[in-house]
Amino acid sequence: MSFLHVYHEADGEQPILSTHEGERIAAELAAHGVLFDRCEPHPELVPDADQESVLAAYAEEIERFKREGGFLVADVIGLRPDHPDKASLRQEFLDEHRYSEDEMHVFVRGGCLFYLHLDQRVYVIGCAAGDLISVPADTPHWFDMGPEPNFTAIRLFAASEAQAARMTGSDIASRFPRYEAFSGEQAA
């Protein structure tokens, strides 16, 4: 189940807004140039479908996103709970960072959390299968796949290849609840 919790950047304990309503999530994020929408899942995909199968199943949607959003490249990322490097891969994205180009994520299976740091607020977005989120270039954010990651997502980039994250140097991510705190709300 998708959700949104909005916190003041100085208080990672008490949200000032909480909702599970897709339209409200989309409206709150759109005010900051962030697209949140639904993309019909493809039930014919097996849980461990390879990149080629996922890209083929979503080919029509990917072409539309490229055309409408100016994205150039699509790839597939995903982790399962038995991945030997899951802890280090999780840690890689837990600090606030930025990318120099727009990025979009379409969740095919499972879910993760995006944290967006916008206008003295932190927006915690629980993304589940069928959700898509497009984060504008230079938006400070972090990503939490949880201690037992179990997701597949299509990533789209406006550059010809994925760019390296630029760390902000802020410790803000350490002051906000991790994936585990929201596990009751997150539908895999």
Is 141 assigned a ligand-binding role in the annotation? yes
What the block records as the tokens of 153 is: 């997502």
How is residue 173 annotated by DSSP?
A: G
Alpha-carbon gap, residue 87 to 147, rounded angstroms: 7
**On the CB side of 94, how many CA atoms lie within 13 Å of its CA?**
16
Is 20 assigned a ligand-binding role in the annotation? no
- Three-state secondary-structure class, residue 128: strand
Closest to 26 in 3D by CA, of 39, 16, 37? 37
Is 97 assigned a ligand-binding role in the annotation? yes
- Three-state secondary-structure class, residue 167: strand
CB 125 within 8 A of CB 36: yes
- Three-state secondary-structure class, residue 42: coil
The answer for residues whose C-beta is within 8 angstroms of residue 175's C-beta and 6 or more apart is: 12
Binding-site members for Ni(2+) are 97, 103, 141
Binding-site members are 97, 103, 141
Binding-site members for Fe(2+) are 97, 103, 141
